[in-house]
Amino acid sequence: MNVEISGVTESMSHRMVASRKPELNSSATVANGKVALLARLRQGDERAFDELVTRHHSALIRMAMGYVADREVAEEVVQDTWMVVIEGLGRFEGRSSLRTWIFGIMIHKAKDRGVREKRHTTFSSFESADDDGDDATDPSWFHQSGEWAGHWAFPPQPWDDQTPEKLLASQQAITAMNRAIEALPRTLKDVLILRDVEGVEAKEVCNILKITETNLYVRLHRARERVRQAVEAYLVGRKPTM
């Protein structure tokens, strides 16, 4: 049985590229692009600013929604974030990436606003609820005793090879996945949006959210599992049971 996992191949090739000289390194090109964007922003290039806003605004709003009461407040938080970014660009030293800095500002502002609204009085206890070692997967899927303990009692039924295309071609499937993402607890939604939706590198996600990589993967897997269940529910033609 041949398991083809695209992520493994991708990061292996990334490592190979990373060992070459910087000028041949594709990630160096990306880094140069970011440096160039920062330089243009500092020069007052309006198009660079539009580019920056277009690139991050949706994700900022989506994440801010997890901290505050409603969309309107989330928009205010993100608008305030952009104002701080504008004012701070001259002082930004580039110790973190521009993105890490911007998302950090938003989270700080959103938490502050959320606390002031008394939506979440204690963030730490709220967050720890998702940091415990609860299983991402349902224990009832597995044998609980006997010589097959821990092995599948109810293995997942394979999806056909065209599943990604079918999902992307169906508005109903897209809606089901988006609903599953929006329904995630904030700590899970944050990691899924940053890592899988925005494609932010794991280390940078950890910097933005101030969590460990182990924590990141516990959360990320729970988030992906919930979306997987939504896809499964869509595929078998019934409503999600979550």
Partner 1 sequence: MAQEEGQPIFSEVTCQEIAQWASAYLDEHVEDERKRHIALHLAICAGCETYVKQIATVRDVVGILPKAIEQPSDSQRLRQAFVARARRLPASR
Please give the residue ranges that form the binding site for partner 1 (CB under 8 A): 1, 3, 5-8, 11-12, 39, 42-44, 46, 49-50, 53-54, 57-58, 61, 75, 78-79, 82-83, 86-87, 89-90, 135-137, 139, 141-142, 147-152, 155-159, 163-164, 167-168, 174, 177-178, 181, 192, 196-197, 199, 202, 213, 217, 220-221, 224-225, 227-228, 231-232
CA quadruple 189, 191, 194, 199: dihedral sign: negative
Nearer to partner 1, 3 or 125 (CB): 3
Nearer to partner 1, 133 or 237 (CB): 133
What is the closest distance, in whole angstroms, from the C-beta atom of residue 121 to partner 1 in the complex? Answer: 29
Nearer to partner 1, 26 or 175 (CB): 175
Distance CA 162, CA 237 (A): 17
Distance CA 126, CA 186 (A): 9
What is the closest distance, in whole angstroms, from the C-beta atom of residue 79 to partner 1 in the complex? Answer: 6
Token duo for residue 68: 């505050």
Nearer to partner 1, 129 or 168 (CB): 168
What is the closest distance, in whole angstroms, from the C-beta atom of residue 38 to partner 1 in the complex? Answer: 9
Residues 6+ apart with CB under 8 A from 152: 141, 142, 143
Q: DSSP label at 148?
A: T
Instruction: Write the CA distances from 166 to 179, 200, 211, 217, 238, integer angstroms.
Output: 18, 26, 35, 27, 16
